[in-house]
Amino acid sequence: MTTMSEDRDIPVSGGGPHGGDGTGGHWSAGPGRPLPTPASGPQDRSASGPRTASATSAEAPPDAGATDPPPVPVPPVAGPTGEDIELIRRTLAEIKPVADKVTGHFYALLFLRDPGLRDLFPAAMDTQRDRLFSALLTAARHAGDPAALTAYLSDLGRGHRKYGTRAEHYPAVGECLIGALTRYAHHTWSPAAETAWVRAYTLISQIMIDAAAEDERRSPASWQAEIVSHERRTPDTAVLRLRPDQPYPFRAGQYTSVETPWWPRVWRHYSFAGAPSADGTLTFHVKAVPAGWVSGALVHRARPGDVLRIGPPVGNMIVDHSTDNGLLCLGGGTGIAPIKALVEDVAEYGRRRLVDVFYGARTDQELYDLETMLRLERAHPWLSVHPVVGDGCPVRAAGLTGQVPDAILGAGTWTGYDGYVSGPPGMIRSGVHALRRAGIPQDRIRHDSFETISAFQAPALAGE
């Protein structure tokens, strides 16, 4: 088992103006805490060699361990300071124009250092872009809110199990991250900046490792799910119903990651298009984007009987049942899928709350789930569904024309409502702005994640 101290003799990239000492020792000698030492973490117990992300059967949750030794207590990790976060932001601002190069260099260092790790990643690395940096920036943004930080990173850590990521991989990733930054952040890199990054990465990794270890005790890393029905609603939109091979607990409004047999190790996110069902099946709405790998395969190639792999549920766009506030829901395109799940959740919970759904698409035909939403409206007097189609299009069902965010601003006052937004990134951005303008405070607005959007757009999107 690799520990940080064992790692010291593995050269890091070194190189830059304030590069490491070439031993990797700075990771454990820094003024913060050493990088997490996997040997002391609970995940160690079941680390049984690398799995490829395309394993053909889901791992059963290990017996939660009558024979397991009690976990060794890990002292709390000192997180980054406010000054650290500022230094991290400055580094990110400097590398923004060369983000592709930094990312490319990071992966080159990683695969040179540990060629075996290449098998965990998809054949084509083009979609990798800056997701690691994006996640780090999201973590930095949440730094002042430990609960949100832990929730976000715990989801991320649990989600990494399906890739075959193990605790001992984290130091390598950290070293290569620092190596890449050292090389490209010429002006903002300094011993203090390096310390800041080490502290932040150490904290982030520890939260991810702990969450993965905890998850391993009760859940598989991924589920196999057979397609039991496949219905084409428009030429490029399909509704898929899947039956997972093991119980799959999730909350309405969440999403998961999906891998198809045709693109091994290529994972994409899809939202559950309904609240948990009695028969345990899961429904997804998928729109094939032009030249889209996974969406194209799911819409045009997938058939009943095909088996997909799905990761754990993630996301916090869930109904807050502790309040009687109304729900103002904005769904664009397939963004209506999790909104429909929220409506079903409110219906099942049984407490009467006003729910207004603005369902937007460019054309009438693209409102592929309007009939379902109108059926729900007929069944529930507390629900109002407002179809909205792009300017100049004919409108079904006495709907509105224009964009969803404008439509809500023209349609009433929304104080006393919680906001929910789902759809393409641009719509999430404008939807959140519109909800704020409508008087709904930020802490009562929930939306699909920003962290899958580029690190270098995220602060602007979040309005921070």
Ligand X SMILES: Cc1cc2nc3c(=O)[nH]c(=O)nc-3n(C[C@H](O)[C@H](O)[C@H](O)COP(=O)(O)OP(=O)(O)OC[C@H]3O[C@@H](n4cnc5c(N)ncnc54)[C@H](O)[C@@H]3O)c2cc1C
Which residues of this chain interact with ligand HEM, rule CB under 6 A?
Answer: 117, 120-122, 127-128, 131-132, 135-136, 156, 159-160, 163, 165, 169-170, 173, 201, 204-205, 208, 267
Interface with ligand X (CB under 6 A), residue from 182, 202, 271, 283: 271
Question: Which parts of 42-81 interact with ligand X (CB under 6 A)?
Answer: none
The site that binds ligand X (CB under 6 A) totals a number of residues, namely 24
Interface with ligand X (CB under 6 A), residue from 194, 366, 418, 448: 448
Q: Strand pairing of 383-389 and 400-401?
A: parallel
Q: Which is nearer to ligand HEM, 267 or 359 (CB)?
A: 267
In degrees, rounded to 5, the angle at the alpha carbon of residue 59 between the alpha carbons of residues 53 and 318 is: 85
**Helix, coil or strand: residue 372:** helix
Q: Which is nearer to ligand HEM, 159 or 296 (CB)?
A: 159
Site string for ligand X, 410-429 (x = CB under 6 A): --------------x-----
DSSP-derived secondary structure letter, 75: P
Q: Provide the minimum distance between the beta carbon of 88 and ligand X in the complex, in angstroms, as a whole number.
A: 24
Whole-number Å distance between alpha carbons of 388 and 361: 7
Q: Which is nearer to ligand X, 187 or 301 (CB)?
A: 301
> How many other CB atoms are there within 10 angstroms of residue 369's CB atom?
21
User: Among 86, 206, 88, 216, which residue's Cα sits nearest to residue 146?
Assistant: 206
Site string for ligand X, 278-317 (x = CB under 6 A): ------xxxx-xxxxxxxx---------------------
Q: Which is nearer to ligand X, 89 or 269 (CB)?
A: 269
238 binds, among ligand HEM, ligand X, none (CB under 5 to 8 A by kind): none
135 binds, among ligand X, ligand HEM, none (CB under 5 to 8 A by kind): ligand HEM
Name the one residue in this structure whose structure tokens are 């730094």.
Answer: 143
- 334 touches ligand X (CB under 6 A): yes
Strand ranges for 204-302 from DSSP E: 223-234, 237-244, 255-259, 267-271, 282-287
- 206 touches ligand X (CB under 6 A): no
User: Among 249, 264, 267, 251, which residue's Cα sits nearest to residue 310?
Assistant: 267
- 125 touches ligand X (CB under 6 A): no
Copy the structure tokens of residue 363. 């054309």
Q: Which is nearer to ligand X, 42 or 122 (CB)?
A: 122
Q: Which is nearer to ligand HEM, 114 or 364 (CB)?
A: 114
Q: Which is nearer to ligand X, 250 or 284 (CB)?
A: 284
Q: Which is nearer to ligand X, 41 or 431 (CB)?
A: 431
- 127 touches ligand X (CB under 6 A): yes
293 binds, among ligand HEM, ligand X, none (CB under 5 to 8 A by kind): ligand X
- 340 touches ligand X (CB under 6 A): no
What is the chain's alpha carbon radius of gyration, rounded to the nearest angstrom?
23
> 190 φ, ψ to 5°?
-160, 170
Q: Provide the minimum distance between the beta carbon of 282 and ligand HEM in the complex, in angstroms, as a whole number.
A: 19
> How many other CB atoms are there within 10 angstroms of residue 126's CB atom?
6
Q: Which is nearer to ligand X, 291 or 398 (CB)?
A: 291
Copy the structure tokens of residue 461. 């999107």
**309: β partners:** 224, 259
289 binds, among ligand X, ligand HEM, none (CB under 5 to 8 A by kind): ligand X
User: Among 347, 297, 357, which residue's Cα sits nearest to residue 284?
Assistant: 297
Q: Which residue is nearest to ligand X (CB)?
A: 292
DSSP string, 427-451: HHHHHHHHHHHTT--GGGEEES-ST
User: Among 225, 103, 208, which residue's Cα sits nearest to residue 163?
Assistant: 208
> 149 φ, ψ to 5°?
-60, -45
Binding site for ligand X (CB under 6 A): 127, 255, 268-271, 284-287, 289-296, 334, 337, 424, 448-449, 452
